[in-house]
Each structure stands twice: as structure tokens, then as C-alpha cells.
Amino acid sequence: MTDVQATDLEITTEDGVADAYLAHPADGRPRPGVLFYQDAYGLRPHLRSMADRLAAAGYTVLVPNVFYRLGRTPVVELPEFIDPAADPTIWERLGPVVASLTPDLIKRDAGAYLQWLADSPLATDGPVAVTGYCMGARLVLRTAAAFPDRVAAAAGFHGGGLATDEPTSPHLGAPDITAELYFGHADNDRSLPPEQIERFEKALTEAGVRHTCEVYPGARHGFTQADTDAYDREADERHWRALLDLLNRTL
């Protein structure tokens, strides 16, 4: 694995300034860019360590605080180990924050994040990859659909609400996606029931999107997040293998 250099930075958007974390190989040579979307718990030490691991594999990884309109990270103060069962107020505080990020805002911000990577000497010219977790998987789909000329690969893990009945459901953007997709679903996930998984795959297939969708048996929603009660080491390592395989193949 490659030595990694990391820094905090700011990205100017149409609506303000987003704080962000950047990780890349320490030699400073340009590498393929990866836009990394957080889960609802936000940009925190665990997500930084995930970005570092991805950068060590040879990528320039940008992790924006997608809730920047509400403040710099941490937007919501959380314990070092996150267990909503032990503190039910966590989602009472997070719910309005997540709901504040509308599809229009996601698309607008994605343009700024992708432009930052396009302008950075640390990222190679050409398309990038996007990966995201929990709510971040929805942002992945919206970004891939809105910027098909910029996104060559898109991955999402334990995503929720990917194919709802809403007129703005993320899966409806499938016809605009040209990237290759990989989605690893949590097993028995209330935020992504079997009917949504079926609707999601059907939309991708009918749109001709190259994709792989897999359910990780026994893995709970949030299985990649080691600082939460949902963490599953075996499923997490499977996610890393799948993600790196997708990036190595497409970038």
C-alpha cells in the first residue's frame, strides 16, 4: 500500500463553502479521482480512515461535508461509538439534517465537487468514480445521472430509499447513467425492502446500465461503519474487495 497524505480544505459552491477532507498518495502524483459521499453520521474520524485506505490503493479521494449549509463538521455532535439504540435522540437530531438535502441541492453541490477534482493537479484528467454509504448511496445515483460525462464508476453500500414511490426517487435517473454500477445491499434492511431492490434492479436493467447488485447475507444497514453498532467486519472487507475491483476495472 502507498503512503498517504491528507488535508482539510474548503470547496466553493453556488451556495457557500463546503469543508472537506482530501486523501491522496503522498508522492503528489496525479491519481484517478474518487468522490466519496458520507453517511448521515457525517464527516468524522472513521470516514477519514476509509478515505485514507482508498487513497493508499492509488486514488485521490475527496470527502465533502454535504451538510455544510448547516455548519462545519461535525454538524451534529455524536459519540465516538454510535449506537442509536442506546441514544434514541441521535436520529431525532439527524432526521431534519438529512431531510434538508434536496435533490436539487445534491445536484448543484455535485457539480462543485466534480469541478474541484477536475481542477486539482492531484487528480488525473478524465472521468472519476463516486462511492457512497447509507444516504450517500442516493447521492451517488443522483451524481451519476446528472453528470454522465464525468462519472465512469459508481458504487453504493447499504443504501436506503434507492427506489421509492416518490416522483424524485433516485432510481428514476437510471436512463441518464453511463457509469458502471456496483451496489452492495444490507440484508433485511427496512430502508431498502425487497420490493425496492427489485424495482432498483429493474430500472437499471431496462436502462441498459452495466451493474452488479448484491445482498450481503446477515449484514445490517451500516455494515461498513466500524464506529457504529451495525459494523460487520466480514461484510466490510467484502465491500472493499468489490469497490476496489470496480475502480481498478473502470479507472
How many domains is the chain partitioned into structurally? Answer: 1
| pLDDT of res. 2 | 87
Ramachandran region of residue 161, left (φ > 0), alpha (ψ -120 to 50) or beta? Answer: left
Residue 33's CATH number: 3.40.50.1820
What angle is formed at CA 38 by the lines to CA 33 and CA 41, rounded to 5 degrees? 160
| Model confidence pLDDT, tens digit, residues 204-221 | 999 999 999 999 999 999
Distance CA 4, CA 1 (A): 9
Among the options 19, 189, 227, 232, which is catalytic? 189
For the question of residue 213 being annotated catalytic, the response is no
Please pick, among 39, 221, 232, 239, the residue that the annotation labels catalytic.
221
Mean pLDDT of 73-84: 96
Other Cβ atoms less than 10 A from the Cβ of 38: the count is: 23
Mean pLDDT of 152-179: 98
- Is 134 a known active-site residue? yes
Q: Domain of 223?
A: 4-250
pLDDT (mean) for 73-99: 95
Radius of gyration of the chain (CA): 17
* Mean predicted lDDT score pLDDT of the chain: 97
